[in-house]
Structure formats: structure tokens, C-alpha cells
Structure 1
Amino acid sequence: MNFLTSRQQDILAFIESRIMAHGVAPTLREISEHFGFSSTASAQKHVNLLVRKGFLERDKHQKRGLTVVEEVSVTPAVTLDLVGVVAAGSPIENFGEREEVTVPPDMVGQGDHFVLQVQGLSMIDDGIHDGDRIVVKQAVEARTGETVVALIDGEEATLKRFYPEPDGNIRLQGANPEILPIVMPASRVVIQGILVGLLRKY
């Protein structure tokens, strides 16, 4: 599924308007100046992304050989709040200053969602690395084995797999054999949400 950030949509619209007005695409320098980029490298990055996503085609035989692919449908991106840091190791205090993060629309279903940045390595065997950002669906209940953001004692948040125990305790289990599980009474654990997506910068 193709989607564009608001900036990518603006750049695509600018390129299309310049082609319609002048018959040729704008240069990287013109794109940079129009959007206030500090260098043409930023414009080049956005153009390359638009080509890779199929919204632009490049003619290597022409200096300004960019054309807009009309038949590609744009799926609007979804913007969520990055609300803080969650530990994938020892629990730490959660929620700081908010910023907005663009996520693929197919990662978000019904209900409210938010983004957290992962700190720690206890979920490494599930492919969740230190510094990754996760998309979380707000929820107060979870099924056994689901990966949840759990609030402990009303103060600390952690990312773990959720396992109710027969004795009434909750086991919050990581995905790293070197990290011990957290086991405590259910009254001390409040589920904040369920993991539904992973974002990683390469």
C-alpha cells in the first residue's frame, strides 16, 4: 500500500504544478529553495522516495526528466503522537513531551493508537531493538501471550508479553533469555495498550 507524508504530498504537488506551468520539472535547487531545505540532498531524498513509491518516473536521458504517474492512488498517511519512552528491559518512567510520527495507514485499525520509543533489549528475540518505535493500540485488556505496554504501580511502563498466572499474579515476560520476567499481583498492573506495529529507521 502506497502512502505519502504531508511533506511528500506537497513536493509531489509542487513538481506537478511546475511541469504543467513550464513543461519541465523543477530542479533540485528549485525544490530546495521552495521548501526551505538547507541543501539539495534533502530534495534528492524526497524525489528518490517518490520515484521508489511509484508517484514519479525518471527519464535518465533528460536533465529534468521527471513525470508524475497519474494512475497511482495516494493513501493518506496517519499521524500519531509519540508520547514517550517505554522500557524493553527494566521498567522506567514513561511519557514525556509529545511529537508527531507518520505511520503507514495499514498499521492502524479501529480505536485510538499512539507511538512509543523502545529502550532496552528484553524484546530482542521478537525483533524489537533498542531505539525502535512501536505503534500501540490503546486497550485495557489483552489475550495471553500478547505484547503489551503495562503500567506498574501507576508509575512505570514496560513492554512485555502478557501472561495471567493461575495464582492471580501477572507475569510480564520479555523475549530475551538473559532478562528475568516480572511477576506481581494483578492489582499492580494496568494494561495501557497492545503492540500492533514496529517502526525502524535504517
Structure 2
Amino acid sequence: MAMNLTPKQLHILQRIRETRLTRGYSPTMQELADELDVSKVTVFEHIDALVRKGALTRQKNKARSLEISPDLELPDEQTNTRLPLVGSIAAGSPIEAIETREHLDLETIFAPSGKGSVGGTTFVLKVRGDSMIDAHVADGDFVVCRKIDGPPKQGDMVVALVDRDEATLKFYFKDRRGGVRLEPANEKYEPLIVEADRVRFQGVCIGVVRAY
């Protein structure tokens, strides 16, 4: 779905998309106002316009309910090789989730260009640490991830957000005590076992990109 968007409206949509990917929830109106250096009233006007255009949905009286229409394709998603690079992910001890607004263009790394289409539910994270080294994911690699809304499958390599602010890349398993076991792929590290309600799954790894 294409539509006429102003630069600030496009900026708002990109900000919402990337915040939801990295943190699991949308930014507030005040956060968007601070980002754009405008008043909350101006942000409300942009949001109302985007809702009328069908680009956004929101729930009234709920602070973090903004969601981008699944049919909307933003300009930086309209190429087969350019993916949003939304932050870093720990492959060691969990780290605070870090948000960026960069992009990784696979065409600049591989030639010829890759085939297939990537949409707004696919994103890239840069790996920090060596806890997944035995799964051939090294420090400095880029993991290509697909966003998921439900629970992952046993053994999936997942992007897990622990306690809403610590992101880590690990294999997912159900713990026999009812919790979640986040398993590294390096014998130097112990599994991270946490209660299920402390973990939100942001995506599953579907590929690894490494530049030499």
C-alpha cells in the first residue's frame, strides 16, 4: 500500500516501527514530540492524519497503542536488499537494548543481489559477544530476524527481551519447571533460566550475514 506522506509523518512511522522492534512497544506522544522537536499537539495532529490515511491504528486512552498498518510499505522497505538495522544484540551476558536508525544494505556486501522480498517484519541486529559461536554466529556478525507475535518453537534461535530492557540472542527451550531456558552455543556460558512472564520474544533468527 502506497500513500502520500510528509517527511515528518514518515519519520514518525519509522520511529514507531523501530521502537516496536527493539523494545516491543510503541513510543509515547511525548517521546515522538521530543524526537521531532515539536509540541505534543503537533504530534497528535500528525498521528490523527496518519490514522485517517490508514497508515496507523491506535487505541484511545492507551499510551503505547500505535501500530503501523500491516499493508503499509515504507520507502526503506521497498528494496530486496535493504533492511532496517535497529540495534545491537548480546551473544554473551544480556545488555540493555540499544536502538539505532541505521540500515544494512545486503547489496553492498554480496554480489550479485540476493533474491526474494523482505518486508517490514524482517530486521537486522548486530551481534556482540561470542556465546553463539558454536552455532556459527560470531561477534560482529549481523543476524537477520523475522518478527514473531506468538511463542517461538523449541530450539529456535530467538531475540529475547528479558525484563523489558535486556536483549539477548539464544536458543529457546521450555524449562521443565515452567519457565524459559535461553541456551547459549558456547560451553563457557551457562543457560539463562527465567520465568516465562519476564521474557518477550521479538523475533527468530532466519539468517546470518558476515563481512570479511
Normalising by the smaller structure, the TM-score range is 0.5 to 0.7
1:81 equivalent in alignment to 2:90: no
* Shift of residue 111, structure 1, vs aligned partner: 6.4
Identity of aligned residues (%): 41
Q: Deviations over 1:76-103 (max 9, x none)?
A: 6321110110000100012322111123
- Computed over aligned residues only, the root mean square deviation of the Cα atoms, in angstroms, reads 1.8
* Shift of residue 107, structure 1, vs aligned partner: 7.0
1:93 equivalent in alignment to 2:96: yes
Q: Counterpart of 1:130?
A: 139
1:153 equivalent in alignment to 2:163: yes
- Measured in 2, the distance between the counterparts of 1:108 and 1:119 equals 27
* Shift of residue 166, structure 1, vs aligned partner: 2.7
Secondary structure of 2:211's aligned partner = coil
Q: Deviations over 1:44-85 (max 9, x none)?
A: xxxxxxxxxxxxxxxxxxxxxxxxxxxxxxxx6321110110
1:195 equivalent in alignment to 2:198: no
Unpaired runs of 5+ residues, structure 2, are: 1-78, 107-112
1:172 equivalent in alignment to 2:182: yes
Q: Counterpart of 2:124?
A: 115
Contact 1:77 1:102 in 2 (8 A): no
Q: How many residue pairs end up in the alignment?
A: 127
TM-score (norm 1): 0.59
Question: Which structure: larger Rg?
Answer: 1
1:183 equivalent in alignment to 2:183: no
TM-score (norm 2): 0.56
Aligned CA distance change for structure 1 residues 195 and 168 (closer, same or farther; 3 Å): same
Q: Deviations over 1:1-34 (max 9, x none)?
A: xxxxxxxxxxxxxxxxxxxxxxxxxxxxxxxxxx
Q: Counterpart of 1:142?
A: 152
Letter in 2 for 1:83: V
- Measured in 2, the distance between the counterparts of 1:133 and 1:170 equals 25
Q: Deviations over 1:170-200 (max 9, x none)?
A: 0000000110000010000110000001111
Letter in 2 for 1:192: Q
* Shift of residue 165, structure 1, vs aligned partner: 1.7
Secondary structure of 1:98's aligned partner = strand
- Measured in 2, the distance between the counterparts of 1:182 and 1:106 equals 36
Contact 1:123 1:160 in 2 (8 A): yes
* Shift of residue 168, structure 1, vs aligned partner: 1.1
Q: Which runs of 4+ in 1 moved over 4 A?
A: 104-111
Higher strand proportion (structure 1 or 2): 1
